[in-house]
Amino acid sequence: MFLSLFSQNPAAAVAVALGFVVGIVLHEAAHAYSAYKLGDDTAYRAGRVTLNPASHLDVLGTLMLLMAGFGWGKPTPVMPSKLRGGIFGPVAVAFAGPLSNLIIVAICAALFLLPPFQSGYLLIIVVAVAFVNALLFVFNLIPIPPLDGAKVIFPFLPRTLDSFVDFMNQYGPIILFGLIILSFVIPGFSPFGFILSLIRPLLNLFGLPSIF
């Protein structure tokens, strides 16, 4: 995806790459910082409460991002038993990641109001960074482990669904990977197509155009 975009529009590709780096770094740093503030210093001691990209970017995840258009950062280590707030502690830490991506979209919307960011390459950067972070916000809230959406929703499910939760925690990563692969190998079939359908309304809600 990235390489194809780079061959067609290098400027836009660099802006998209910037959006992913900023989004992934702040996403993981938000997990680490929120956990630290809630009493778990595991990520802090691992050097994850930082905006240094080297601390959050995963080599394989970055390569997959460049080659296939999807990737990941290093998982932030969190020990729920150390968090304050009972059930809401882990939920708050999980939601902090997607929330950081939404805040980036809001910052891009504020920059878009300034004349220098309404044309030229600055416009491309603002729109690309906003688009990528809107994508990260929506995608990470899908309730399939290990995505944050599962950690936000599963704690509130009734006990009668414990077997379902256990099943998803065990097989969720496989299911997620399978759905992603299907989106690439079966023409016209995209299980995650609804994600892209949500990005444009989200950007429009913030007054941002969608040119990707």
Which positions ≥6 away from 53 have C-beta within 8 Å? 21, 25
**Cβ atoms of 144 and 138 closer than 8 Å:** no
Q: Is 28 a catalytic residue?
A: yes
Torsion angle in degrees (nearest 10) through CA of 45, 48, 50, 52: 130
Would you tell me how many other CB atoms lie within 10 Å of the CB of residue 26?
Answer: 22
Task: Say if residue 146 is preceded by a cis peptide, omega within 30 of 0.
Answer: yes
Would you tell me how many other CB atoms lie within 10 Å of the CB of residue 207?
Answer: 10
What is the Cα–Cα distance from 181 to 166, expressed in whole angstroms? Answer: 23
Q: Tell me which of 5, 28, 31, 98 is the catalytic residue.
A: 28
What is the Cα–Cα distance from 102 to 135, expressed in whole angstroms? Answer: 10
What residues are labeled active site? 28
